[in-house]
Structure 1
C-alpha cells in the first residue's frame, strides 16, 4: 500500500445541476447508476501515408457481416508488433451493456464500408487533429466524493480496433447510514481479434460488482444495508470476478456448444474464447479512499502524486506488466508445469508465441488438445500448438494492489493499454499530465456554476503556480518487470522541447505526445498510416486519465451527477439523466 500525508486546501464546494446519473435497485441491495444513452462514435479512420521509403505496400482484404458472421483478415505478418504471430478469425457482436451508469465503448465495431484499396496520402495537420480527437470524451463528476473528472481517448491501429474500455459508478448504502460510491474504470487490450475485449466491456464490472456485493455482510434487519469486509476479502472478490468471467468465456461456452452443437451458435458462443484480451481495472471506494488496481496482462496504471517533502511530482506504477519477460511470471508458469520448463516460456513468450502471461480468452493456451480438436473438426479453430502438453498455461486471475488516495492533494491516475507505454515511460506520462494541467489551470466547464469570485476546485487542486515548471518527474516504481518504451528515441531530451499542449482532453494530449508531440511530421506520419500497415509502427491506443479531488470540509453531494465536459469531448453531445 502506498500512503502519503494529505495536503490540505481551502476551497469552496463544487456544485452543478444534476446530469448524467441516476439510481436503481439491483437485487434489492445495491443501487447502480447508468446513463440513458451511451456516447458512441466511429473509431477507425482509413487514411494512409505515402512514405514509401519507410513502408511497403500491402493489400488488405476484409469482409464483415452485421450480425455474428466470420470475417477473415490477411495482410502483414507482424511478429515484433503483435502479441501473437498469426492471423485470427474476427466475429461481430451486437451485444450491449445497460447494467449501470456506463460510459463504455466509443466504438468497437467500426466499418464504414469503404473500399479495401487505399490511396496513400499524408493527412493534413487539421485532419490529423480531427482523427486524434475523433474518439475522445470527458466526464465531470460533481459529487464531491473524491473524483472530479475523467478523460478518455482512443486511437485505432487495427480495424476494427481491438482495444475497449468501460466505466461505471455504483452507489452502496452502508450500515452506518452513509452511502459509498464504487467507481470503476477499465481498459481492455485485445489481441487476435476484438471479441474478447468486447465481452469484457459488457460484463467485467458486473462480475466484479456481484462478487463485491457478496463479500459485504447484509444487516439482518435491513438487508439492503451492507457492512464492508476487510481488505483481503475485497481483493479476493475482485480476483473471483475476473476468474468467473474467464471461466464463462473458456469453459462454459464450449460446454454449451457441445451440448447443442449448432453451427449457427458457434460464433456467438466461442468467439471471445478464440481471441484474447488483457484486462486492467481500477476500483475506487469513496468511503475509504482506497484505490484497488487489478491487472491481467500488460496494460498499466500509473499514479501521479506530489512528494510530501519537495512538492515535486512522482510517478508510481500501480500494476506490474505480466509477460513472459517478467521473471516472477516466467518462474510461476515453469513451476506450474514441471518437465516443460524449457518449453513453456521461450523468448519471453508463453510456448514461444503469446507475450502476456495472463489474459482473458486465448483458448489455444487453455483448452485441452481434445477440446481443440473437437472445435477444429466441427466448427473452426487454429492449428493446435505443437508444444501443448498440460494446459492451461495462461490464467485470467489478476494481481491486485491497494493504494490510499488523498483527493485533497490533486492525485491523478493514468490507465492505458501497452501501446502508450511502448512510446512513453511512467515519468514521461506523469510529466505530460502535469504540463497539461498547468496549461489548463482555468477550466470553465469543471462546474456549470463557476463565477469569477468563486474559483473552481479544478484550478485550486491542479494548477499550482509551479505545477509546470519542473517536468522532471521521479519514477518511484521499484520493479524490473515493467517494459521500457521501444517505439521512440530521444526520451532523455528536455521534456519542454518534446511536448506540445494542444488538446483539452488529457488522454488525447497523451496520445498526441506519444506519437511525437512537437515533431509534427512524426505525428502526421504515424496517424496517416492506414490500418494493417500501421500495426508495425503503433498499436491500438486506449487511455483513461482520472483526476481525484475533493473540497476539504465539505459534505458529499449525494444529489450531484455526472455530465459531459463539452470542451474535451468530440462533438460535445450532451445526454441527460436524473436521480
Structure 2
C-alpha cells in the first residue's frame, strides 16, 4: 500500500521543446505557457480545468448520462456571502481536468473496491477513496495538448503553475516581463522572481501582502496561495 500511495497524489506538467525552427509546447493540467513574439503578439496555452468550457464539454461527451455530475461543485460547497461561485470540479473532486497520478479518478471502480479494505488503514488514501460520483472512470487523463510556435520569432516565453496564473492573466505576465526587459538594467533582474512577487501581492507589487501570504500555514495557506513555479526563457 505504501508503494501505491504516491499514485493518489496528482501533478501537472508542461514541456517546451525548442528547435532552431519551432517551439513545441506540450501540456497537461492547469499549468500555462505565455509567449510574446517579436511583433508584440501574445500566445498562451489553454488551462486544463473543469471550468474551461472545452474541457467540460469533452468530459460530458466522454461520460454520457453524467452531464450534471461529471463537472460540478464539491459536495456541500455554496456561493459565498458576496455571491462568488465556488470552482467547478471533475466529479466534484478535482479542479484540473488532466494530470499525472490522481488514481482515484482513473482506476476502475472494481479495482478500487478491491483496495478498499487496505485503504482504510491509510488516512490519505481513505480520504481520497472512491468518490460518490465516480461511476465510469477514467475521468482524468495525462494526454497533452501540443501547440507549435514559430522560432525564431519569439521574444520570450514564461512557464508557470496556477500559483502565478490565479493572480496574473496572460496579458499581465507578458506586459510585466516586457516592461522589465525594457529597463536599462534588465540583465541584472530576476524575471521569475518579479512575477512571483507580483502574484504573491495579489496581482500588484505589494510587499506587505506578499509577506502576509508567505507567512500563512496549514489550510489557511492553501486558501490564499497555490504552489508557485515559474520559468522565464528570453530569446533576445
Q: Structure 1-normalised TM-score?
A: 0.35
The match for 1:143 is: none
Matches within 5 A, 1:152-191: none
- 1:103-161 CA-partner distances (Å, limit 9, x unpaired): xxxxxxxxxxxxxxxxxxxxxxxxxxxxxxxxxxxxxxxxxxxxxxxxxxxxxxxxxxx
Matched, 1:526 2:191: no
In structure 2, distance between residues paired with 1:424 and 1:301: 13
The match for 2:10 is: 276
> In the TM superposition, what is the alpha-carbon distance from 1:532 to its structure 2 partner?
4.0
In structure 1, distance between residues paired with 2:199 and 2:49: 22
> In the TM superposition, what is the alpha-carbon distance from 1:414 to its structure 2 partner?
0.3
In structure 1, distance between residues paired with 2:33 and 2:22: 15
Asked if 1 retains the 8 angstrom alpha-carbon contact of 2:161 and 2:230, the reply is yes
Please give the secondary structure, in 2, of the residue aligned with 1:533. Answer: helix
Residues 343 and 401 (structure 1), Cα distance of their counterparts in 2 relative to 1, 3 Å cut: same
More helix by share: 2
Matched, 1:545 2:232: yes
In structure 1, distance between residues paired with 2:52 and 2:206: 33
Please give the secondary structure, in 2, of the residue aligned with 1:298. Answer: coil
Residues 442 and 403 (structure 1), Cα distance of their counterparts in 2 relative to 1, 3 Å cut: closer
Of 108, 111, 120, 1:368 maps to 108
Matched, 1:396 2:136: no
| CA RMSD after TM alignment | 2.0
Residues 305 and 531 (structure 1), Cα distance of their counterparts in 2 relative to 1, 3 Å cut: farther
Bigger radius of gyration? 1
Matched, 1:316 2:62: no
In structure 2, distance between residues paired with 1:354 and 1:284: 31
Asked if 2 retains the 8 angstrom alpha-carbon contact of 1:314 and 1:427, the reply is no
Asked if 1 retains the 8 angstrom alpha-carbon contact of 2:163 and 2:228, the reply is yes
In structure 2, distance between residues paired with 1:429 and 1:417: 12
Residues 442 and 346 (structure 1), Cα distance of their counterparts in 2 relative to 1, 3 Å cut: closer
In structure 2, distance between residues paired with 1:390 and 1:528: 41
Number of residue pairs matched by the alignment = 214
The match for 1:377 is: 117
Asked if 2 retains the 8 angstrom alpha-carbon contact of 1:440 and 1:504, the reply is no
Q: Structure 2-normalised TM-score?
A: 0.83
Asked if 2 retains the 8 angstrom alpha-carbon contact of 1:405 and 1:411, the reply is no
- 1:170-216 CA-partner distances (Å, limit 9, x unpaired): xxxxxxxxxxxxxxxxxxxxxxxxxxxxxxxxxxxxxxxxxxxxxxx
Matched, 1:285 2:22: no
